[in-house]
Each structure stands twice: as C-alpha cells, then as structure tokens.
C-alpha cells in the first residue's frame, strides 16, 4: 500500500489515512461525556473524506458507518477509534471474570495478540486485561451485559443441558460474535460459560451430551469441548466443539452433527449418499479427481465422493419446476452464442452463477435454457430414488435375503473349498514363520532390516493364531463396494480403497476368502489407528505383523501397512536403544 514517509522522524502514513481531514486541533474537547482515553485524540470527519476505503476501529475492529462518521485518531496508540471506543472506561468489573477488575490495554500489540477468555478468538486489537490471572476480554465480549430477568440471584442459569452454570447476556451493541460450538454468528441473546470460557447460542447450550448419527451408525457420539481436529463428515479442520466416538477415534463438528442433510439411496452406491452444498477443497471427486467446489454427494461411511455432474446414470430428461419445458441432459458444451470463445464467461439460467463449459448441463433447445446439474438436484434425487426403489422391489420379489449378516453366519456360510483356501493361506504363513527364514525374502519384503530382525525374534517366541477367532461373532457385516465388511471396519476399508485402490485385486482367492483376509488387514489398521503410543506392547506389534503377513500371503498389495508398521516398530524399540544396532542385543519379552 502506498504511504507518505518522514525520514527525519521515521513517521509513515498510509495514503488512505492521510486523506482523513482533522476537524480541529483542539483535541480532547471534541469528546463529550467525560473522555477516558489516556492520550490526545484528533477528531476527523469521514463525511468530508472522498476516499472509498473502508476504515475499521482499532479498538473494536468494527467498521465506521454512517452513524459513526466521526473518527478519532490516536497517534500514541497508532489507531482509529469510534467515539464510543474513545470513551471506554479504563477499569471495569465484569461477570465473566468476577474475581478481579479488568484494565484496558489501549495500545495495539505490535508483535503478538491475545486470546479472548470469552469467545476464545485470537485478537490483536484493544483488550481488557487482568494481570493477576492473565485473563483477556476483547471489547465486543466486554460489551455483553447479563440479563437480570433471566439469571438468578447468583447471576447464572441452569436450565440448559450444558454441564456448567451459564450467564445469559444481551448483545445490545450488536457486535458480530460467533458461537463457539457451531461457528455461526450469535444473535441478541448469548450464553456464556465461565467454566469452559465459551459463548454459545441458547440452542447450542442445549446440545445433547450424547447422540446417534447416520454418519457414524456403529456407536453413540459424545460431545467434547476445546478440541482441534478434522471433521470426518466434511473433512474440514476446525477448533471448538466436536462429537466424538472414542472407540473409533472418529470426530464430527457440531455443524455437521446438527445439519439435516438431504440423502438418497440409488444404484450409484450401496450406502446412503448425502448432498453437500458448500465448496470443499479438502475433498476430491472419486470419478474425475477434481476438487468438490460445486455441490456433491458424499458417503461418509466409506469416503465415496461424487460431483453431481459426474453421476454416470443422470436421468436423460427431467421436469424442472422453474422452467416450462422438459430439460434434456447434454454432455456437450453449450455456448450462449455460437461465435463465442471457449474461454468466455457462461452462466446458468437457473441460479445465474457462472458455469464451466465442459461440464454436463440440462438444456432446453426451444428456449436455449441451460442449467447446472446441481440446480436440478431435487428432481435428480427423486428420479434416482424411484429407480432404486423399483429395483429393490423387483429383487425382493425374486429372492428374500436377510437384512443383515453376523460374523458367525458369514463364517458358517463357507463351503469346503472356501474353508480350504482360508486354511491354506494361514498354514502357508505359519510354516514360513516357524521355519528358518533367515534367507527368506518374504520376511523383509516391506520392513527395514532392523525391524525385520526384531519381528523374527518375536515370531519365533509366539504361535500364530487365526485373528478372527478372537472377534465378536455377533458383529454385523455391511457391504462396501463389492465386498462384505464388519460394520465397524467399513470406514477403514473405504478410506484405504479411496487412497490406495483395491489392494486385494491381484489375489486369486475366492470372494469370501478374500473378504475374510480383507477384514483381517482392516482390523489391524483400525487397531493401529486407535492405539496410543504409550499403550503399544510387543504383543500388540506382533498381532499387527501377523495380520499384515496373512494379507501378504493372501496376495494383497499392502506395502502401505508395512511402511506404517516399520515406523511404529522403530519408534517403540527406539525408546530403549538405537534400532540401527544389532537386534539380538534387545531384551524382548
């Protein structure tokens, strides 16, 4: 930004600030109602300023508008102030920090800011401060005043499901403050928790402590405060409130948990697909591998994502409520005028937003009406769900299948040849692990030399067992792509397939035998992800190694699993010694 500079004084003034014209050089007398700012102030009138730049107050960070046309300039604080901010008291008692008074820090920090103790937001503007407790309160939160009609004699309310007492406050000055839970701006009525130091909507203060959700049907989710992480539903990173499944280490932010998504069942995918409307640069379409910057469908269970225009079975025609004629699917580029360049700007006639020429559209030739596929999504969902319902009803007439299958039922359904296949893979690995495998390349196929030697010692002292013998036989199986998988392992398989493709594709096993060993690999990956470093033992490492080796002997391409296991083995034994040393020196129990 351009600026004026005085080299004698090292004084710099932005051009937009230089355009401010002082109304008088008599400074403090311009402020009515007992001025409290500790430095001289220069009064400027924005109405006489021809600059179109939008100024913001250095104290409260709010813009100057028509009702606040006077700007006060403090050269000591190097800031622009509203009149009300120039009159802020230097000392206040506030219910958000009742133990000590708060003092105004009028100078804007140059190198670092503060985290407000009410809204938990990082601030670099003026702030109230308690030096005894290192408690900070920004100007917007300091303006919140408790509602005496709603709070009890102790200034608190307990009628919400939140575990601590809350203070119900009025936002009389209409500051834009976001809710800590859902990150949506708060309205006139705000709840503050002194214990958690968060500001909440009244509705968010009543969030259920535990809930079941379609995005994670396996287990109940528990509300957690003060957490930073990635939401497994939308894959966005955020801080604040999350719903957590502690068994699966699975998290979902409050916005996704409270949303009422539009879902559909169709022939596209075996699980319900949820419509996400907002652009998301964390998600790639499974088909075209481009970012999902237009509305898309997502299966949260197995991380299957699809642009609406990438659906292979889009209805060829549909009746859109906003157009008189039937629209036809067109996968060829449609320009507004034949002589336009390919890089010209083209617009959707339904939403009047820009459209990409190469993307499929719904088109009316009579009216030259062109619409995004996602603008007609309601009709698309209706048609695809009807087709799916018809297919399901026909299938039900032909054969009646059980609604679910347990692990025991799945294992009992194996015929003699399938059982021989499963046992053949297991016996091959057991013989290999019990023999003298010092020269066998299979043992060091993916592990490094030190890790291979360590695992040899462990394997020689332990007997190999079939992992599924220790699984809960009542666990249910669901379908992911063309495979059956234990319900709790479906997200793991979906993630692995999404990242590494079908790692079992080269295996010669029959489908059922292949599925059982896929579950074996996924169970080990799931255990690896949910086990804290401090809880890893040599027995745990051995169980993971057995599962991955069984997958390898089943013909799976699972280098990714051995790569992760190598890092874990080195980290675990590195606590005792440098793994680059000779492995036989370790004391492995």
Interval 409-419: pLDDT, tens: 899 999 988 89
Bigger pLDDT: 372 vs 60? 372
Q: Is the pLDDT of residue 30 over 60?
A: no
Instruction: Say if 295 falls within a structural domain.
Output: yes
Q: Is the pLDDT of residue 286 over 60?
A: yes
Instruction: Say if 275 falls within a structural domain.
Output: yes
The structural domain count of the chain equals 5
Instruction: Say if 3 falls within a structural domain.
Output: no
pLDDT at 586: 34
Instruction: Say if 471 falls within a structural domain.
Output: yes
Q: Which of 461, 530, 589 is nearest to 219 (CA)?
A: 530
Q: Are 295 and 173 part of one and the same domain?
A: no
Q: Which of 83, 60, 73, 61 is nearest to 21 (CA)?
A: 73
Q: Are 353 and 234 part of one and the same domain?
A: no
The per-residue pLDDT for range 292-307, each reduced to its tens digit, is 988 999 988 888 899 9
> Considering 396, 415, 446, which residue would you say is the last residue of a domain?
396
Bigger pLDDT: 512 vs 48? 512
Indicate the SS3 state at residue 216: strand
Q: Are 443 and 518 part of one and the same domain?
A: yes
Q: Are 489 and 539 part of one and the same domain?
A: yes
As given in the structure block, the two tokens for residue 403 are 């609604």
Q: Which range is most confident: 317-331, 528-542, 559-573?
A: 317-331
The per-residue pLDDT for range 97-121, each reduced to its tens digit, is 888 999 988 665 544 578 888 887 7
> Considering 258, 278, 293, which residue would you say is the last residue of a domain?
258
Average pLDDT over residues 27-34: 44
Residues in Cβ contact with 531 at an 8 Å cutoff, skipping those fewer than 6 apart: 540
pLDDT at 53: 64
Bigger pLDDT: 359 vs 34? 359
Q: Which of 501, 499, 492, 498 is nearest to 520 (CA)?
A: 492
Judged by phi (left if over 0) then psi (alpha if -120 to 50, else beta), residue 89 lies in beta
- Average pLDDT of the chain to the nearest whole number: 79
Percent of the chain topping pLDDT 90:
11
What domain range includes position 340? 263-396
The per-residue pLDDT for range 316-338, each reduced to its tens digit, is 999 998 898 999 999 888 888 77
Q: Are 330 and 358 part of one and the same domain?
A: yes
Q: Are 441 and 543 part of one and the same domain?
A: yes
H/E stretch holding 407: helix 407-412
pLDDT at 125: 74
Neighbours of 370 (CB within 10 A): 21
Q: Are 128 and 79 part of one and the same domain?
A: no
pTM over 0.85: no
Instruction: Say if 508 falls within a structural domain.
Output: yes
> Considering 396, 421, 436, which residue would you say is the last residue of a domain?
396
Q: Is the pLDDT of residue 157 over 50?
A: yes
pLDDT at 361: 93
pLDDT at 49: 60
Average pLDDT over residues 526-552: 85
DSSP 367: T
Q: Which range is most confident: 214-218, 278-282, 293-297, 492-496?
A: 293-297
Q: Are 512 and 411 part of one and the same domain?
A: yes
Q: Which range is most confident: 43-47, 120-124, 216-220?
A: 216-220
* Phi, psi (deg, nearest 5) at residue 156: -135, 160
Instruction: Say if 569 falls within a structural domain.
Output: yes
How far apart (Å, rounded) are the C-alpha atoms in residues 523 and 562? 14
Q: Are 52 and 104 part of one and the same domain?
A: no
Sign of the CA dihedral running 301, 229, 525, 496: positive
Indicate the SS3 state at residue 5: strand
How far apart (Å, rounded) are the C-alpha atoms in residues 271 and 300? 9
Q: Are 66 and 152 part of one and the same domain?
A: no
Bigger pLDDT: 180 vs 47? 180
pLDDT at 515: 92
How far apart (Å, rounded) are the C-alpha atoms in residues 233 and 12? 48
Contact in structure between 360 and 280 (CB atoms under 8 Å) = no
pLDDT at 394: 58
Instruction: Say if 12 falls within a structural domain.
Output: no
Q: Are 280 and 219 part of one and the same domain?
A: no
Q: Is the pLDDT of residue 139 over 90?
A: no
As given in the structure block, the two tokens for residue 532 are 């804290």
Bigger pLDDT: 383 vs 459? 383
Least confident interval from 125-134, 352-361, 472-481, 570-579: 570-579
Instruction: Say if 5 falls within a structural domain.
Output: no
Q: Are 49 and 97 part of one and the same domain?
A: no
């Amino acid at each position: 930004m351009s600026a004026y500079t005085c080299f004698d004084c090292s004084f710099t003034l932005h051009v937009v600030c230089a355009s401010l014209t002082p109304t008088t050089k008599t400074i403090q007398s311009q402020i009515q109602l007992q001025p409290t700012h500790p430095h001289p102030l220069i009064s400027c009138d924005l109405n006489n300023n021809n600059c179109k730049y939008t100024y913001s107050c250095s104290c409260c960070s709010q813009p100057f508008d028509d009702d606040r046309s006077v700007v006060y300039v403090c050269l000591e604080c190097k800031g622009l102030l509203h009149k009300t901010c120039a009159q802020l008291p230097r000392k206040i008692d506030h219910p958000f920090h009742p133990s000590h008074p708060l003092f105004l820090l009028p100078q804007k920090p140059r190198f670092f800011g503060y985290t407000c103790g009410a809204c938990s937001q990082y601030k670099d503007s003026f702030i109230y401060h308690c030096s005894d407790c290192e408690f900070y309160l920004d100007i917007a939160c300091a303006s919140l005043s408790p509602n005496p009609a709603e709070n009890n004699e102790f200034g608190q309310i307990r009628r919400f499901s939140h575990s601590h007492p809350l203070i119900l406050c009025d936002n009389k000055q209409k500051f834009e403050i976001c809710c800590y839970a859902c990150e949506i701006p708060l309205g006139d009525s705000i709840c503050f928790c002194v214990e958690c130091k968060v500001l909440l909507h009244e509705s968010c203060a009543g969030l259920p402590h535990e809930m079941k959700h379609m995005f994670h049907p396996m287990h109940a989710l528990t509300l957690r405060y003060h957490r930073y992480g990635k939401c497994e539903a939308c894959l966005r990173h955020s801080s604040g409130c999350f719903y957590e499944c502690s068994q699966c280490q699975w998290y979902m932010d409050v916005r996704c948990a409270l949303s009422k998504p539009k879902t559909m069942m169709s022939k596209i995918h075996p699980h319900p697909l949820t419509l996400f409307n907002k652009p998301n640069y964390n998600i790639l379409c499974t088909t075209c591998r481009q970012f999902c910057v237009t509305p898309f469908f997502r299966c949260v269970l197995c991380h299957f994502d699809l642009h609406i225009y990438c659906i292979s079975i889009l209805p060829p025609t549909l009746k859109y409520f906003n157009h008189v004629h039937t629209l036809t699917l067109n996968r060829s580029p449609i320009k507004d005028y034949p002589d336009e360049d390919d890089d010209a700007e083209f617009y959707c006639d339904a939403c009047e937003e820009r459209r990409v020429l190469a993307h499929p559209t719904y088109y009316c030739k009579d009216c030259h009406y062109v619409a995004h596929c996602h603008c007609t999504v309601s009709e698309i969902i209706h048609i695809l769900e009807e087709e799916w319902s018809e297919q399901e009803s026909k299938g039900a007439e032909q054969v009646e299948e059980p609604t679910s299958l347990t692990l025991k039922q799945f294992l009992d359904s194996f015929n003699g040849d399938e059982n021989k296949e499963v046992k053949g893979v297991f016996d091959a690995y057991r013989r290999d692990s019990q023999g003298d495998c010092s020269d066998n390349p299979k043992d060091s196929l993916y592990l490094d030399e030190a890790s291979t030697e360590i695992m040899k010692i462990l394997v020689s002292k332990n007997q190999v067992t079939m992992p599924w013998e220790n699984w809960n036989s009542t666990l249910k199986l669901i379908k992911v792509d063309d495979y059956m998988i234990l319900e709790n392992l479906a997200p793991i398989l979906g993630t692995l397939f999404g990242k590494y493709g079908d790692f079992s594709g080269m295996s010669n096993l029959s489908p059922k035998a292949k599925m059982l060993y896929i579950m074996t690999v996924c169970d080990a990956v799931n255990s690896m992800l949910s086990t804290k470093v401090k809880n890893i033992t040599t027995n745990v490492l051995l169980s993971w190694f057995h599962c991955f080796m069984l997958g390898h002997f089943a013909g799976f391409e699972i280098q990714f699993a051995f790569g992760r296991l190598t890092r874990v083995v080195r980290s675990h034994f590195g606590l005792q010694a440098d793994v680059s040393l000779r492995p036989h020196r370790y004391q492995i129990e």
